[in-house]
């Protein structure tokens, strides 16, 4: 009798995630693992898909997300899986999911707080995710900013010994719960109040584990190079690998600096340090309006305390304005005219009347985006802010399709196999995601079947709520979460805990 599999995908162009050239063959799955890569002959399967040369890749790993709360409130995670994503790394930019009260206090806006039941620590957070059931896998990072708020509120000072001990104890709980590392957000409140010593001392709690340090650096503008040096120094002092989040040069006066910051990464790698970066493939960023104001934007005079650079009112566009949908899609410059206020006052009024307001920031150069994307140290992370209403940055749904379709296929910046590697095998290795990020017998069956000729991002800044084209079928741990481009509603995902 012919062999029977749970899933058999015939005649696919298989990108195995290693960066090697694709091979046209069959892939079969039993339970949650790949059982065969090769000619399946006369075998059958419960689900059989004739790929007819469509591309089959490991599911995309979104290494930079803020989906901590959205995974609880929208557990089918279709807002990620319909873009081909099968694993989300949460807890970035210093905003972790625990302790709960501190997470809500500083991260509620960024992470789209809904009506959630409190939980206890990262162990409680992981348990809540598992209890809901997930459409995608979640890997957790702990957040320095969240720990700092829990230990000492929003104070702008050095922590005392007791406060430092509290942060270390919170990190140890998180490590025991399986977090993959610690993130910082040194541009945000309260991360910006933390000196290098504080971060290095806390991160050193991870020495001897395979957890990493991920950072939204102190200054991504004219201070970019010093910020990269600080990140590398912290990794060196703590004895842990480093992930530089959303690598960019922010603001016109810093454009071009990425050529130098990439050299710093190369030098660190040459000395044996595990330093890498991630990137979203757009010239605009997005964050909380509150944070933009805290960084001194639109002040009459700037005192140089502007880690996001001097930002022009025309370059800042409201993405989500709770209670004020009429402001969404409007720039601060437009709102100045409508509200008859100067830029700073207009932005402050919007931030006050629409708490949780997020904005799009048109602050990067296309040349820099390309320079970073071409570089072999760069993996892909959406940095999407999961405000599922409003006008979120199109990166939320479209990051991976844009890298594959626009930058790899249409612009030729990368080969398709390299692009796939940067979103699969490379991040799996960096974040310690055992048996993921590759298509091989025995690997876990996180898979995406897509049209290499047709895959493309669809969302625009004006009309961002669109899913990409060309993503046909998506499987998480062997279970189908997207069929013919539509979410199945199934939740085969899991919390991925650190091993070692």
Interacting span for Zn ion (CB under 5 A) from 109-117, 209-217, 223-231, 343-351: 209-217
Interacting span for Zn ion (CB under 5 A) from 109-117, 175-183, 216-224, 471-479: 216-224
CA–CA separation, 469 and 474 (whole Å)? 13
- Residue 374: CB minimum distance to Zn ion, A: 22
Please compute Rg for the chain using Cα positions: 22
Q: Is the peptide bond before 99 cis (omega within 30 degrees of 0)?
A: yes
CA–CA separation, 94 and 106 (whole Å)? 10
Residue (186 or 265) nearer to Zn ion, CB = 186
- Residue 232: CB minimum distance to Zn ion, A: 18
Residue (86 or 279) nearer to Zn ion, CB = 279
Size of the site for Zn ion (CB under 5 A): 2
- Residue 325: CB minimum distance to Zn ion, A: 25
Interacting span for Zn ion (CB under 5 A) from 175-183, 211-219, 299-307, 319-327: 211-219
Beta strands in 31-144 (DSSP E): 33-37, 44-50, 55-58, 60-62, 85-90, 137-140, 142-143
Answer whether 185's CB lies under 8 Å from 144's CB: yes
Residues from 80 through 109 that contact Zn ion (CB under 5 A): 93
- Residue 245: CB minimum distance to Zn ion, A: 5
How distant, in Å, are the alpha carbons of 14, 120, 446 from that of 408? 17, 43, 22
Residue (49 or 93) nearer to Zn ion, CB = 93
- Residue 91: CB minimum distance to Zn ion, A: 11
CA–CA separation, 90 and 110 (whole Å)? 12
- Residue 214: CB minimum distance to Zn ion, A: 9
CA–CA separation, 275 and 471 (whole Å)? 31
**Cross-strand bridge partners of residue 479:** 476
* Residue written as token pair 């939204």: 216
Helix H or strand E segment including 194: none
Where residue 442 falls (left for φ over 0; alpha for ψ -120 to 50; beta otherwise) is left
- Residue 472: CB minimum distance to Zn ion, A: 31
Residue (111 or 268) nearer to Zn ion, CB = 111
* Residue written as token pair 């809901």: 132
Residue (94 or 478) nearer to Zn ion, CB = 94
Asked whether position 393 contacts Zn ion by CB under 5 A, the answer is no
- Residue 259: CB minimum distance to Zn ion, A: 22
How distant, in Å, are the alpha carbons of 242, 277, 498 from that of 232? 7, 11, 22
Annotate each residue in 326-345 with x if it binds Zn ion (CB under 5 A) or - if it does not, as one string: --------------------
Token duo for residue 13: 């162009």
Residue count (the chain):
500
- Residue 283: CB minimum distance to Zn ion, A: 16
How many of the other CB atoms lie within 10 Å of CB of 385? Answer: 27
The candidate with the shortest Cα–Cα distance to 251, out of 308, 295, 302, is 308
Residue (93 or 128) nearer to Zn ion, CB = 93
Binding Zn ion by CB under 5 A: which of 80, 144, 216, 409? Answer: 216
Residue (93 or 321) nearer to Zn ion, CB = 93
**What is the DSSP code string of 278-310?**
EE-SSSEEEEEHHHHHHTTTT-SS--S--TT--
- Residue 90: CB minimum distance to Zn ion, A: 13
Residue (5 or 188) nearer to Zn ion, CB = 188
- Residue 185: CB minimum distance to Zn ion, A: 6
- Residue 383: CB minimum distance to Zn ion, A: 6
* Alpha helix (H) residue ranges in 340-453: 343-353, 366-374, 395-401, 416-422, 425-430
Residue (148 or 216) nearer to Zn ion, CB = 216
- Residue 218: CB minimum distance to Zn ion, A: 12
3-state secondary structure of 379: strand
3-state secondary structure of 406: helix
Residue (34 or 361) nearer to Zn ion, CB = 361
Residue (65 or 488) nearer to Zn ion, CB = 65
CA–CA separation, 469 and 405 (whole Å)? 9
Residues from 103 through 162 that contact Zn ion (CB under 5 A): none
Interacting span for Zn ion (CB under 5 A) from 41-49, 117-125, 215-223, 311-319: 215-223
Q: What is the biggest distance separating any 2 CA atoms in the chain, rounded to whole angstroms? A: 79
Residue (25 or 221) nearer to Zn ion, CB = 221
- Provide the pairing of β-strand 33-37 with 23-30: antiparallel
Q: Is the peptide bond before 183 cis (omega within 30 degrees of 0)?
A: no
Residue (228 or 482) nearer to Zn ion, CB = 228
For the chain, the first-to-last Cα distance in angstroms comes to: 42
Residues binding Zn ion (CB under 5 A): 93, 216
């Amino acid at each position: 009798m012919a062999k029977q599999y749970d899933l058999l995908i015939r005649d696919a162009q298989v990108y195995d995630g290693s960066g090697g050239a694709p091979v046209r063959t069959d892939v079969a799955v039993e339970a949650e693992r790949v059982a065969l890569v090769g000619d399946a002959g006369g075998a059958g399967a419960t689900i059989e898909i004739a790929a007819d040369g469509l591309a089959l890749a490991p599911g995309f790993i979104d290494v930079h997300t803020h989906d901590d709360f959205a995974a609880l409130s929208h557990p089918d995670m279709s807002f990620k899986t319909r873009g081909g994503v099968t694993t989300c790394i949460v807890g970035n930019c210093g905003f972790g999911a625990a302790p709960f009260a501190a997470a809500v206090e500083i991260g509620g806006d960024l992470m789209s707080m809904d009506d959630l039941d409190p939980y206890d620590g990262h162990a409680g957070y992981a348990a809540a995710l598992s209890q809901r059931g997930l459409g995608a896998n979640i890997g957790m990072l702990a957040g320095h900013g969240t720990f700092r708020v829990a230990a000492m509120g929003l104070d702008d000072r050095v922590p005392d010994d007791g406060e430092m001990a509290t942060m270390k104890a919170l990190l140890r709980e998180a490590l025991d719960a399986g977090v993959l590392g610690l993130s910082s957000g040194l541009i945000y409140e309260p991360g910006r109040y933390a000196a290098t010593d504080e971060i290095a001392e806390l991160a050193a709690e991870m020495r001897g584990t395979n957890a990493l340090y991920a950072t939204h650096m102190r200054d991504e503008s004219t201070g970019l190079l010093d910020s990269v040096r600080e990140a590398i120094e912290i990794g060196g002092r703590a004895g842990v690998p480093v992930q530089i989040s959303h690598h960019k040069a922010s603001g016109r006066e810093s454009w071009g600096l990425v050529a130098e910051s990439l050299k710093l990464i190369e030098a660190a790698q040459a000395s044996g340090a595990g330093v890498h970066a991630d990137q979203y493939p757009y010239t605009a960023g997005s964050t909380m309006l509150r944070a933009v104001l805290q960084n001194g934007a639109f002040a009459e005079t700037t005192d140089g305390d502007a880690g996001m650079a001097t930002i022009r009112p025309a370059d800042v566009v409201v993405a989500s304005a709770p209670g004020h949908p009429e402001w969404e899609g409007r720039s601060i410059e437009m709102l100045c005219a409508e509200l008859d206020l100067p830029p700073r006052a207009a932005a402050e009024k919007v931030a006050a009347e629409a708490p949780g307001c997020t904005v799009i920031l048109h602050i990067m150069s296309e040349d820099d985006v390309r320079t970073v994307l071409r570089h072999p140290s760069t993996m892909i992370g959406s940095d999407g802010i999961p405000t599922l209403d409003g006008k979120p940055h199109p990166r939320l749904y479209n990051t991976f399709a844009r890298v594959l379709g626009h930058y790899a296929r249409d612009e030729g910046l990368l080969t398709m196999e390299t692009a796939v590697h940067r979103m699969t095998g490379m991040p799996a290795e960096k974040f310690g995601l055992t048996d993921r990020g590759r298509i091989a017998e025995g690997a876990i069956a996180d898979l995406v079947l897509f049209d290499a000729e047709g895959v493309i991002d669809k969302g625009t800044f004006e009309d961002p709520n669109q899913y990409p084209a060309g993503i046909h079928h998506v499987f998480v741990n062997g279970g189908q979460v997207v069929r013919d481009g539509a979410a199945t509603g199934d939740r085969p995902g899991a919390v991925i805990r650190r091993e070692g």
